[in-house]
Structure 1
Amino acid sequence: MLRQSILFCLCLVAVSASAADRLTDRAFSTRSVVYAPHAMAATSQPLATQVALQIMRDGGNAIDAAIAANATLGLMEPTGNGVGGDLFAIVWDAKTQQLYGYNGSGRSPKSLSLAEFEKRGLQDVPSFGPLPVTVPGAVDGWMALHQRFGKLPRKQLFAPAIQYATQGFPVSDVIAYYWGASVPRLSPYAGFKEQFTIDGRAPKTGEIWKNPNLARTLQRIAANGRDGFYRGETAATIARYMAEQGGFLTEADLADHHGEWVTPIHTNYRGYDVYELPPNGQGLAALQMLELLEPYDFSQIPFGSAEHIHLFVEAKKLAFADRAKFYADPAFAKTPVEALLSADYTAARRALIQPKAALQVAAGEPKALNEGDTIYMTTADADGNMVSLIQSNYRGMGSGMTPPGLGFILQDRGEQFVLKPGHANSFAPGKRPFHTIIPAFVLKDGAPWLSFGVMGGAMQPQGHVQILMNLIDFGMNLQEAGDAPRIQHDGSTEPAGQNTPMLDGGIVNLEHGFAPEVIRSLMRRGHKIQFADGPYGGYQAIQRLPNNVYAGASESRKDGQAAGY
C-alpha cells in the first residue's frame, strides 16, 4: 500500500488500526510477537536481520551482530543510512551489568564559517549539495563498539555486506518507493546517477541491486579499520570530490574525527528507568515528556481518547520548546539537563497544561525535520548483551554528494544548524549539529527490560513516549505497541534553520484509527487536526522477559523483520 505523495512520508500509513479478527484478539497487532530463547535481532530489512542472526550463530555477540547488520543496511537501505552518515548506540554489557552510550556524530568542516553563509545571503543551511555535509561518524562508531565489546574479527563482520554488494540482493517494497522519490532531486549531483540508479531510474521492487564500489569501500574498512575510511584512498577521494563540488570537507577533517563514549541520561517512569543519550541529540525531549505525563492516571484515561491525545500533545509542545532553545553540541553550549528534568521545573511547566484548551506555546517554522530518514535496529545475544543502535544520512539518501568509486552518499546533517549568531545550535567550524536520531533503552529493577527506537526526525521522541505509554500505561504487547495508531504533533520551534517563533499551536497529525468523536473533541479544545500520509516513524524493539526469553517486534509500516533462535 504505497502512497503517491511523499509530502510528509517517513513510513507508510498503517493499513488498519484493528486486527481484532486474529485469534489473539489483540486490537492493534498486525502479527504476533516473536519469541526466542537465545538471540534476537530486529531491523528494517529482513536480510539484515538474518545477517545479524548468522553472526551470532557463528560465535559473535550482539555488538558484532549490530555492526554487521548496520553495514548490510547501508547497502540495502541507502534511503536511510550508510557509511556517509552518523551513528548513536546504547549497549547493555552483560559482563559489567552496565549501560554504555556512544555518540558517533560528525563535526562541521573546520574551514567553513558562519560568515560564509552570510556572504552567500543564506538564512538556512541548504538541504542538499556540499554545504550541509559534515564528517561521517558511522565507521568510527563501528570501530569503537568493536574495539570495546566485539568478539569476531572485522573481516568476518563485513563479509555479508561485501558479498551482497558484489553479488546483489532484491530491493524491498518500501525502500524501492523512497529510492524512487530520491532520484529526481539527487540526480543533478555528480556521482549519484552513476552509482545509485539503473539508467537514470531507481531499482524497482524485487529487482537485483549490486554496489561493487561500496564493496571495495567496505573491504578497505575491514582490512584497515577506521584508517581504511578516515585516511588513505577513501578519505582522499572524498576530499578531492568535495573540493571539486565547491565543498569544504578536507582530509584533515576526516583524519581528526572522533566520536565519544557518553553516559546515558535517564528518568524513572512508573518504576521503569528510561535511558537516552544526552545532547547534541534530542533524547532528552522524550524524558521531559515522560516527566510531564507521569502524574496523570492513564489507568483512567483510555488509549485513543481525546484526553490521552490532548495531554500527550501538550507535553510534547512544552518539551520541544526547550529542545529548540537548549539542545546543542555540549562542547559549545551546555544543556542544563538536570535542571530541565528537575521536579520543580517540570511541575511549573506542567501547570501550563489546560485540560480543555490547546496551548499556544511559542513554536517555530519547522525546517522539514520530518523529511529526514533513518534506520533503527536492535540485537540481543545468548549472554544477555543488547544493543540499541540508530544510524542515518539525515534527509533520506543524504546530501547528494556521491564521491566517485566509493558507493555511498555523504550525509547532509549540517542542515540542522541554526544560522543565527548566539544560538546554542548556531553554526561553527568543527561543531556537531543538533541531532534528531536517538536510540533508547529501559531497565527494570536494574536489569534490561527493553531495547527500542522509533526513527523519523522530530517524531522520534514522540514515538519513544508513545511506545512506552502503550506498553506501561495501556498494557499492550510489544508488537501491538508499535502497530497501534500514532500521534504526531508538528509545528514546534525547531533548533534548526531560522529558529523562527510561531504562536499558532501547530498541527496534530493522526494516523488512521482514531474515532471521529475524539477528533471533534480535540478540535473543540483548539487543536488543528491533519491527516498526513505517514510522518509516524519506524519502530523496532527487543524485550527481555523475566525468564530470560527474548521478545521481538518489527515496524508494520516498514519492510523489517524481528527474528531469533
Structure 2
Amino acid sequence: MSCKPGFSERARRARARPKRARIRMRNFHFPGRSTVHATNAMVATSHPQASLAAIEVLREGGTAVDAAVAGSAVLGVIEPQSTGIGGDCFALIQPRGEGKIIAYNGSGRAPKAANAHWYLERKITSVPLTSAHAVSIPGVIDAFATVLRDHGKFGFDRLLQPAIKAAEEGYVVAPRIAFDWKNQFEKLKGGTNTVRYLLPGGKPPVAGDIIRQAELGKTLRAIAKDGRDAFYKGAIAEDMVETLRGIGGLHTLDDFAAHTTEVTTPIGTMYKGYDVWQCPPNGPGVTALLMLNILSRFDLTKYAPVSVERFHLEAEAARIAYMNREMHVASPDHMKINVAEMLEKGFADEYISKIRMDGMLDLPNVAPPMNPSTIYITVVDKDRNVCSFINSVAHSFGSAIVSNKTGVLLQNRAGGFRIQPGHPNCIEGGKRPLHTIMPGLLTKGGRSTMPFAVMGGQYQPTGQTHLLTNILDYGCDVQEAIDMPRGLHYEGQYQLEDSVPADIVEGLKKLGHKTTSVVGPLGGAQAIWIDWDKGTLTGGSDPRKDGCALGY
C-alpha cells in the first residue's frame, strides 16, 4: 500500500470559497502545515538542517545576513542538486526593515575569451548545458563576502562551520533531494568527476543514506581560513581552471581573480497598495513585476482562487511578460530598452488590452534557453534586519562538472546565454547571462512586510506572482499561499501540478490551453510576514521541498 498525500484542505476548499472571503483558520482534521510564529527572529529554508544552522547563528547574536550565509553554505553541501559554492547568488537586504533596500548581484560572468563567433565557427548554436562552455565564473563566495562586509557580525571562520561539518562528518539525504538525485542519474553518470563525487557506489543515494564529501569540506576549510581569495586565487582556482580547460573550456585564472559582486538599487512596482521589489537585470525580476502590472488591470477576486478564470489570467499575464523578457532583458549595458519603460503601466498594452476570458491570445511560442533549479532563504533577525537571499547552480546538479580535486560542483548558468549575434542576451566575454533566480521583498510605506521568493527555474516569476496574489487578492496567510496548486505556462504548454482539479484542467483545455502534468512539483517557496504592530513574525515553508520555517 502506498501513501499519496494530496494538497492541503485549504486548497481543496478554495474552489468553493466565497469570492471575497478571507481564510481565518485551517481545518485541523486534514493534512497541512501551520504557520510558524515568533517574536525575536525567523528563518525559512528548504531543509531543516539549514534552518537550524541559521537559527543558531541568530541566537548567538548574528545578523540576518550572517544567518543566511550559514544556512546557504549548509544547503550547498546537503542540497547539491540546487546550490553550492560553484554557483551564483542574488540578495535584497533592508537594514532594520525600513528605508533603503540594497540589491546584491552575485552572478558570474562568461570567460573573457567567449564570444558568439567562436561558437558559430564551430557550428555551436546553443550553449551545451553539460559542457565547460556552460560554466560562468561562480559568484556565490564573493557575494557571501560582500554582504557580510556590509551587514554581518561574523566571518567565514564561524559561518562555514556547519557546512564543513556536514561535508566531512556526513549528512542524511532528505526525501525531495533523493527524488531529484534519482531523476538526474543519467546526467550524473555522464558528467565530469560526478560518478566519483556524487554517485557513491555508482548509484544515486536514497532518503536516509549518509553522504560524506571530504574534498568539499577541505575546500570550505580553506575559505573559512583565508576568505574569498582562497576560492578565486591560488590552488582552488587553479584546480577549477585546469578542470574546465581540460574539457575544452576558455576559462583562465584571470577570469576568476577578476570576479566581483555588484551592489545595485532594486526595481519595483506597486500592487494592491504594497511595493514589490526585485533585483534589476541581469536578474529576471522585471518579469514578475510586469505580470503584476498586467494582473492589476483585472479583479481577481471575481473568481475563486482555484478556478479556470484565475489560472487562465495568470497564464496570459505570464505569456506576455515572458515574451517581453526574452526579447529585451539581459545584462543592463546590453539592453536596448530600459527597465523603467518596461514597468510603465502602458507597456505591452497592445497585448494586455486583447486578453479575453473565452480564449487565448495569439502570441509567439517563447522558448528560454534553460529551466534550472534553486534554493531560497529568508531571514528576519531581532533588530528586524531583513534578508531575502537566493543561490543556485542553475540546472539540477549544474553542469555535472566537479572540479578535479576540490569537490566543487560547477554551475551551468552560462547556458542562459543565447548564441545569437545582435540579441541583447548573446554570449560575450565578461558579460553576465540573463538569470532565472530572483529574491523578492514586499514593503508598505517603506517598511518591510514580507521577504519571499518561489524558487524553481522559469517558474519563479509566475510563482512569485501566484504567491502574492494568493495573499493580497485572496487573503491567504503565508503558508496557505505557498500550499495552493500551481501551474506554469512554458514553451506552449500549461504545466499543471497534480493538485489542480480535473474540472479546472478541462476548462483550461476548452480555452485553448495545451495542458500537461509535471514530473516534479513546481518550485519551492519561503516567506516571512512581519507584523510591526504586534511585534511578531509569521513564517511559511513549501511542503514541495524538505524544509521548514523556524523562529524563536
TM range (shorter): over 0.9
Aligned residue among 104, 111, 114 for 1:112? 114
Does the Cα contact within 8 Å between 1:14 and 1:512 map onto a contact in 2?
no
Aligned pair 1:555/2:546, yes or no? no
2:346 is matched with 344
Give the SS at the match of 1:331. helix
2:526 is matched with 540
Shift of 1:199: 2.0
Aligned pair 1:507/2:509, yes or no? no
Does the Cα contact within 8 Å between 1:373 and 1:396 map onto a contact in 2?
yes
Aligned pair 1:378/2:378, yes or no? yes
Does the Cα contact within 8 Å between 1:291 and 1:346 map onto a contact in 2?
no
Does the Cα contact within 8 Å between 1:64 and 1:157 map onto a contact in 2?
yes
Does the Cα contact within 8 Å between 2:322 and 2:366 map onto a contact in 1?
no
Q: TM-score, normalised by structure 1?
A: 0.92
Does the Cα contact within 8 Å between 1:44 and 1:554 map onto a contact in 2?
yes
1:278 is matched with 280
- Matches for 1:393-408 after TM superposition, within 5 Å: 393-408=393-408
Does the Cα contact within 8 Å between 1:14 and 1:556 map onto a contact in 2?
no
Give the SS at the match of 1:343. coil
Does the Cα contact within 8 Å between 1:274 and 1:287 map onto a contact in 2?
yes
Deviation track 1:329-359 (CA, whole Å, cap 9, x = no partner) reads 1133354211111122254432021221101
2:192 is matched with 190
Aligned pair 1:489/2:489, yes or no? yes
Aligned pair 1:519/2:510, yes or no? no
- Matches for 1:62-73 after TM superposition, within 5 Å: 62-73=64-75
Does the Cα contact within 8 Å between 1:165 and 1:210 map onto a contact in 2?
yes
Does the Cα contact within 8 Å between 1:166 and 1:215 map onto a contact in 2?
yes
- Matches for 1:195-214 after TM superposition, within 5 Å: 195-214=197-216
Q: TM-score, normalised by structure 2?
A: 0.94
Shift of 1:280: 0.9
Deviation track 1:374-395 (CA, whole Å, cap 9, x = no partner) reads 1111111100011111111111
Aligned pair 1:564/2:551, yes or no? yes
2:218 is matched with 216
> Does the C-alpha gap of structure 1 residues 56 and 553 become closer, same or farther in structure 2, counting only changes over 3 Å?
same
Deviation track 1:512-564 (CA, whole Å, cap 9, x = no partner) reads 34444333332222222222223511111111113121111111111111111
Aligned equivalents of 1:33, 1:261: Cα separation in 2: 33
Does the Cα contact within 8 Å between 1:28 and 1:484 map onto a contact in 2?
no
Does the Cα contact within 8 Å between 2:91 and 2:387 map onto a contact in 1?
yes
Aligned equivalents of 1:521, 1:153: Cα separation in 2: 54
Aligned pair 1:123/2:156, yes or no? no
Q: Detail structure 1 runs of 4+ shifted over 6 Å in the superposition.
A: 20-23, 26-29
Give the SS at the match of 2:57. helix
State which drifts further: 293-302 or 147-156. Answer: 293-302
Aligned equivalents of 1:87, 1:73: Cα separation in 2: 13
Shift of 1:294: 0.8
2:514 is matched with 528
Aligned residue among 87, 100, 103 for 2:102? 100
Aligned equivalents of 2:74, 2:90: Cα separation in 1: 17
Does the Cα contact within 8 Å between 1:29 and 1:479 map onto a contact in 2?
no
State which drifts further: 521-530 or 146-155. Answer: 521-530
1:16 is matched with 7
Aligned equivalents of 2:459, 2:139: Cα separation in 1: 22
Give the SS at the match of 2:434. coil
Aligned equivalents of 1:198, 1:307: Cα separation in 2: 48
Aligned equivalents of 1:328, 1:460: Cα separation in 2: 17
- The count of residues paired between Structure 1 and Structure 2 equals 540
Aligned equivalents of 2:5, 2:379: Cα separation in 1: 25
User: What amino acid maps onto 1:273 in structure 2?
Assistant: D
- Matches for 1:211-250 after TM superposition, within 5 Å: 211-250=213-252
Shift of 1:364: 2.8
Does the Cα contact within 8 Å between 1:40 and 1:379 map onto a contact in 2?
yes
1:289 is matched with 291
Does the Cα contact within 8 Å between 1:29 and 1:480 map onto a contact in 2?
no
Shift of 1:16: 2.5
Does the Cα contact within 8 Å between 1:2 and 1:177 map onto a contact in 2?
no
Point out where structure 1 has 5 or more consecutive residues left out of the alignment: 4-12, 492-505
State which drifts further: 245-254 or 142-151. Answer: 245-254
Shift of 1:27: 11
Aligned residue among 357, 360, 379 for 2:359? 357
- Matches for 1:75-94 after TM superposition, within 5 Å: 75-94=77-96
User: What amino acid maps onto 1:385 in structure 2?
Assistant: N
Aligned equivalents of 1:14, 1:359: Cα separation in 2: 35
> Does the C-alpha gap of structure 1 residues 554 and 525 become closer, same or farther in structure 2, counting only changes over 3 Å?
same
Aligned equivalents of 1:199, 1:307: Cα separation in 2: 50
Aligned equivalents of 1:185, 1:518: Cα separation in 2: 35
User: What amino acid maps onto 1:442 in structure 2?
Assistant: L
Does the Cα contact within 8 Å between 1:459 and 1:535 map onto a contact in 2?
no
Aligned equivalents of 1:274, 1:41: Cα separation in 2: 20
User: What amino acid maps onto 2:204 in structure 1?
Assistant: A
Shift of 1:113: 2.2
Percent of aligned pairs sharing the same letter:
36
